Chains A and B, each alone.
Chain A
Amino acid sequence: MIEILQWSTLTVCGLAAITRVPSALRGKNRTVFYIFALMTLATLLSIRAPYFAIDQALGGVNVANLLLRFVIFAAIFFVGIRVTRGFGADSAYRLLTGRIGMAILGLISLAVLVLFLMMDTAGSSAGLVAMSDRSDRNGLLVEYYGAAGRAYPAYVSLVLLPAMVRACRSNLPALIRVAALLLVLGSVAIGVSLLFPVFPPALGSVEFVINYTAVLCFVIGLALIWVAKLRSGLNAPGKKTSTGK
């Protein structure tokens, strides 16, 4: 079940990235392509088999997991910038790129890095599951490391949330409002992921569902905005001929 979710998320992200290649080559909003590409990479690194293969190539000390964290940070950072710019949420944009946003990104990145270095990380293990069983100290470090990794995406989601809710309730075209709703769902899912430490272990599969739901909501939401633009582009010439003078 979870495998299906993982691979279908990967497929969706990959397709979105591939379809953005032509416009990226033309230099049109390359960031959107980067977001899709980074999300594809992140999804790939979160699946057991590709994670194992990539981590083995990187030395088998779970550097791939560290890479995954920073790929996620980069993807969510770009999402934050583009979305706040696009939806005209200037204060949210400043919260991400201003001194506060940069300080939060720097501190969390540092925390992730230090916690990773303090851990005993020998032996590839997706999600560092094997690490936490190694000793109590390691288990605690893995827990903190995971929390730090979720903190930055949660910060960005929280910053995005008000603007997205406003967009949902606005008079913008229907597709854009649906896209905003998906971004709201994705943001809420990421926000909920902060609570993972207090989830009972029995809900482990729910955590997976929430994580991939967030990725899917973001990717599909962004893709929908693009679709809305393409559709309006198709409609516009027809409109022009009917009202043209």
Chain B
Amino acid sequence: MPIPAKAFQRWLHGIAPNTSTSDICRVSGIKRTTLAQQLVRGKVAETTVVSISRAYNVNPVSALAAFDAYSQLTDTRPPTRPELVSQISTTDLLRAVLARSVADPGGEPAVAAPAGSSALEPAPHATSVKNWVEAIDDGELRHRVSAATGIAPQNYSAQLTANRLAPELAVATSLAAGVGPASGLVATGLVTEAEAGWPPEARQAALDSLSDGQLTTLAGDRLQTLGRALRRQEHDHEKTEKIWENLG
């Protein structure tokens, strides 16, 4: 649920006292009409808080944690390895597979893969929300989230497929899975890894710690899912073309 306007104004007064709304908007790059609208409706979007925090050098996660709905964010547990790996893009995983096979032509265990030779793309990636939920799902996670928040399972799935997740659902998902509460906000791209307190190079380290078998299986799974999605897209595209050919 978005943040109540009253609490937001109190918070805003705390970090930027005696600053006009238009100055805040200018510094944080928020459109003035957008903020005005959110204030009138009494609900301020989480992205607004994040943008303003960044502009005033406040950590966005601790800023959000100041609001009742996000008080769980004070818990700064480090991300688990599956979570870290889930936030590596499919391209980077495939690149790692190739790099290992090049570095290791003889078939000896690859110990010193040239780690960090190419930096990973920053999270989030094109399927990071779904991959994150799959990484922490014990099989019952979706049921628990829908029971806790009241969201219909099909609406939840639709958000994951669209690579979106409302911030409060992301936090609720973390809680239901028992992992660090800020991870979901990283996967949805609301905050960066660094802002969520993920150590630098944590994803690279997690990637390096995967065995060749684990890495290859994971990359294969991702590739298969990607292939299915692309095929579905192509199929829909063909159908659309056919409709236009006959009725356009």
A68-76, A84-92, A204-212 - the one binding chain B: A84-92
Chain B contributes a number of interface residues (CB within 8 A of A) equal to: 11
Which of A51-59, A166-174, A192-200 lies at the interface?
A166-174
CA distance A82 to B244 in the complex (A): 10
Q: Are B236 and A86 in contact (CB under 8 A)?
A: no
A29 — which chain B residues lie within 8 A by C-beta? 246-248
Which residues in A have their C-beta under 8 angstroms from that of B244?
86, 225, 228-229, 232
Residues of B within 8 A of A83 (CB): 246-247
Residue of B nearest to A173 (CB): B240
Mark contacts of A21-35 with chain B using CB atoms, 8 A cut-off: 1 yes-contact digit, 0 otherwise.
000000011001000
Contact assessment for B246 and A86 in the assembled complex, using a CB-CB cutoff below 8 Å: yes
**Is A176 part of the binding interface, using a Cβ–Cβ cutoff of 8 Å?**
yes
Nearest CB of A to B243, in Å: 4
With the chains together, A86 CA to B241 CA distance in Å? 9
User: Does B77 make an interface contact (CB < 8 A)?
Assistant: no
For the complex, give the distance between the alpha carbons of A167 and B185 in Å: 35
Q: How far is the CA of A170 from the CA of B240 in the complex (A)?
A: 11
- Smallest CB separation, A220 vs chain B (Å): 13
- B248 contacts which chain A residues (CB < 8 A)? 28-29, 225-226, 228-230
Residue of B nearest to A23 (CB): B248
A225 to B248, CA, bound (A): 6
Residues on A with beta carbons closer than 8 Å to the beta carbon of B245: 86
Q: Is B231 an interface residue, CB under 8 A from the partner?
A: no
- For the complex, would chain B's binding face be called helix, strand, loop or mixed by DSSP majority? helix
- In the bound complex, CA of A222 to CA of B240 (Å): 14
A171 touches B247 (CB 8 A): no
Q: Are A86 and B232 in contact (CB under 8 A)?
A: no
How many residues of A are in contact with the other chain, CB < 8 A? 21
Q: Are B232 and A85 in contact (CB under 8 A)?
A: no
**Shortest Cβ distance from A86 into chain B, in angstroms?**
3
Closest to A83 in B: B247
| A222 near B247: Cβ-Cβ < 8 Å | yes
Chain A contacts with B in 37-95, Cβ cutoff 8 A: 82-83, 85-88
Q: Flag if B239 contacts A225 (CB, 8 Å).
A: no
| Cβ–Cβ < 8 Å partners of A87 in chain B | 239, 242-243
B235 to A: closest C-beta gap in Å: 9
Q: What are the residues of chain A within 8 A of B236 when measuring CB–CB? A: 170-172
Q: Is the CB of B232 within 8 A of A176?
A: no
Q: Is the CB of A82 within 8 A of B240?
A: no
A229 proximity list for chain B (CB < 8 A): 244, 248
A28 to B236, CA, bound (A): 23
**CB neighbours of A222 from chain B (8 A):** 247
The complex places the Cα of A176 from the Cα of B239 at a distance, in Å, of 11
Q: Mark B207-248, 1 if CB is under 8 A from A, else 0.
A: 000000000000000000000000010001001101111111
Known pairs A86-B247, A172-B236, A172-B239. 5 more at Cβ < 8 A? A28-B248, A29-B246, A83-B246, A172-B240, A232-B240
Binding site for B on A (CB under 8 A): 28-29, 32, 82-83, 85-88, 170-173, 176, 222, 225-226, 228-230, 232
| 24 contacting pairs across A/B (C-beta < 8 A) | A29-B246, A29-B247, A83-B246, A85-B242, A86-B242, A86-B246, A86-B247, A87-B239, A87-B242, A87-B243, A88-B239, A88-B242, A171-B236, A172-B239, A173-B240, A176-B240, A222-B247, A225-B247, A226-B247, A228-B248, A229-B244, A229-B248, A232-B240, A232-B244
